[in-house]
Structure 1
């Protein structure tokens, strides 16, 4: 992997490749971008904020494509895609959650291990506000990528091990915080 990262680092097209990898991860690739992004951030600490921004931009581009698929061609492509993800139950449950909680539902999927594709397609199918979808995606995925940048700045090469060991706990913690905010919003 180190040789591949070194080639990526020297490439004139590294940022374009990172953008497309992030976009593909958001749409179809079930392999977490963090596996590449964290070591790349360690090598390129002087450009760490740029790398986080490019990853976020690629993810949002992918999210917009997923939203469009949900809105325009879900009946012909979306059902098949959800079946390939094995996320049929999650998709149906999320459609209802999206109608009930909107912004916070998209935000929660953006920071938890639930496939983000579920949120993109459901938002498109239900006609959820594109602006609110983009805002929730920017906030949740921005937290993810800029959070990784902070992790790398603080811990260097150990950031990868920390991420692998604690990403689930972090996602659950953010989910709990978001649920607390949503609950407070309804009951206050």
Structure 2
């Protein structure tokens, strides 16, 4: 795949699958690929972002239409109209930051996609939040490979949880500053 003419479409497809049904982090594929194909570093990050956005839209639509089909059963057995209404209001006020944070933290993006679809969250805001989160994630990897080259994998393995904690703290801090300003 590294030297294939289908490398970039394959990255797009892998990202689409990772964002929808394959629970394996795409970073395990992206970092070595970026290291081997540094001349296509930014294009690899872009294609991964595009694939994720396509997958995110599919997940949104799946959540939206599945909920429409199963609304009565869900309301009867899993929740109430009042609880669902509170959940919708919470998505209206905090949905952007929730979706954005799933794009850069280890929280599965599928949760945000389904929640956005079920609550009919604004599609443009959903795509913007998803894109922002994944651009930070994928282009952040590209920046690391650009500056640290073959040492990137070791750095990620060594500082993975510290980076996750730092990213999560930044998201929470920004969210808090916006809500309580």
TM-score (norm 1): 0.82
**Which of 173, 179, 187 lines up with 2:180 in the alignment?**
187
Report the counterpart of residue 111 of structure 2 in structure 1. 118
Query: Residue 5 of structure 1 corresponds to which residue in structure 2?
Result: none
Compute the displacement of 1:179 (Å): 1.5
2:145 counterpart of 1:152: yes
Partners of 1:95 and 1:19 in 2: how far apart? 31
Q: Name the SS for the 1:156 alignment partner.
A: helix
Relative to structure 1, is the Cα distance of residues 112 and 95 closer, same or farther in structure 2, using a 3 angstrom cutoff?
farther
Partner of 2:32: 39
Per the alignment, residue 138 of structure 1 pairs with 131
Supply the distance in 2 between the matched residues of 1:96 and 1:157 (Cα, whole angstroms). 46
Give a deviation string over 1:156-179, Cα, whole Å, max 9, x none: 111112223323322221221122
* Residue 20 of structure 2 is aligned to residue 24 of structure 1: no
Q: Match for residue 96 of structure 2?
A: 103
Aligned residue in 1 for 2:57: 64
Query: Which residue of 1, 9, 33 maps to 2:2?
Result: 9
In the TM superposition, what is the alpha-carbon distance from 1:95 to its structure 2 partner?
6.8
After TM superposition, the runs of 4+ consecutive aligned structure 1 residues lying more than 6 A away are: none
| Secondary structure at the counterpart of residue 10 of structure 1 | coil
Alignment of 1:163-174 (within 5 A): 163-174=156-167
How far residue 97 of structure 1 moved from its aligned partner, in angstroms, is: 5.2
Give the direction of change, closer, same or farther, for the CA distance of 1:115–1:96 in structure 2 (3 Å limit): farther
Return the alpha-carbon distance in structure 2 between the equivalents of residues 30 and 76 of structure 1.
Answer: 26
On the 8 A contact 1:98/1:106 being kept in 2, the answer is no
Cα distance in 2 for partners of 1:146, 1:69 equals 27
Q: Per the alignment, in what secondary structure is the counterpart of residue 25 of structure 2? A: coil
Query: Normalised by the size of structure 2, how large is the TM-score?
Result: 0.85
Q: Distance in 2 between matches of 1:96 and 1:179?
A: 19
Contact 1:66 1:117 in 2 (8 A): yes
